[in-house]
Amino acid sequence: MSRTYHVYILASGRNGTLYTGVTGDLAQRMEQHRDGKGSNFTTKYGVTRLVHVEAFADVDTAIAREKAVKKWRRAWKLELIERGNPQWLDLYDRING
């Protein structure tokens, strides 16, 4: 059984604080972030809205993408989010529904 890895972006709100991460279990990782156990950064800044997700079959490719996105200018990240999620909806309901 192959595993899917996800690169994701969380936001505190529309155009708010952003957090980029990678995980092999998106639903579990989102629960951790929402329970205040995901990372000190997301807990401190209330960054829990899932606004962007990309799936990868290979963990190394996913990690490389996460590292690249983390280095991007903020404007590029906002553009990426807006392209796929112009309403800044919380995509968590889609993956958890």
Averaged pLDDT in 10-residue chunks for the chain of 97 residues: 92 95 96 92 94 97 98 98 96 79
For 74-77, which contacts have Cβ atoms below 8 Å and span 24 or more sequence positions?
A: 74/18, 77/9, 77/18, 77/20
pLDDT confidence of residue 52? 98
Could you say which of 3.40.1440.10, 2.60.40.1510, 3.90.105.10, 3.30.460.80 is the CATH number of the domain covering 5-96?
3.40.1440.10
The total of other beta-carbon atoms located within 10 Å of residue 58's CB is 12
pLDDT confidence of residue 23? 97
Q: Name the residue ranges covered by the structural domains of the chain.
A: 5-96
pLDDT confidence of residue 1? 66
